[in-house]
Amino acid sequence: MHELPVIDKILQVALKHARKNNISRILSIHLEIGELSDLEESWLQRYFDRVSSGTPAAGAALNVTRIPVSARCSCGNTFGITLNNTTHTCCPSCGSSSWQLVAGKGYFVKSMEGL
C-alpha cells in the first residue's frame, strides 16, 4: 500500500504539467525509479489506473526505468554499487568507506506523452 501516496504524487505532477502545456489526454508517463526503491511496477500501474480514473491521465501507461545505485566518496569520486554489496563497499579510487548514496533510491517523473 505504500505505492498509493507515491502514485497520487505522480498523478498530481502529471496533471499539473498537462494543464500547463494544454494537454487534454495523458498517454504515458515515464518514471525513473532507483534500484533500491521497493516500489513495484505492477502495483504502481494498478494504483495509477484506480487513482487516475476520470482524469486526463485515465488509461495512461507507466513506463519505468530502474536507475542503478551510485555513491560519491569524500574524495570526490562517484562510483556504482552492486545491490548485493552495499554494506562493505569501498571507493575504488581511494579505498575509503566514507561515501554517500547519490542515485538509486528515489523516483521522479522523467517525461510524459499526451494529446
Q: What is the pLDDT of residues 25-79, one digit of tens each?
A: 999 999 999 999 999 999 999 999 999 999 999 999 999 999 999 999 999 999 9
CATH number of 3-114: 3.30.2320.80
pLDDT of 85 reads 58
Evaluate whether 104 touches 34 at the Cβ level (below 8 Å).
Answer: yes
pLDDT of 86 reads 55
Q: What is the pLDDT of residues 72-103, one digit of tens each?
A: 999 999 999 987 755 678 999 999 999 999 99
pLDDT of 51 reads 97
Q: What does the DSSP assignment read for 35-50?
A: TT----HHHHHHHHHH
Alpha-carbon torsion angle 15, 3, 81, 76, nearest 10: 50
pLDDT of 77 reads 97
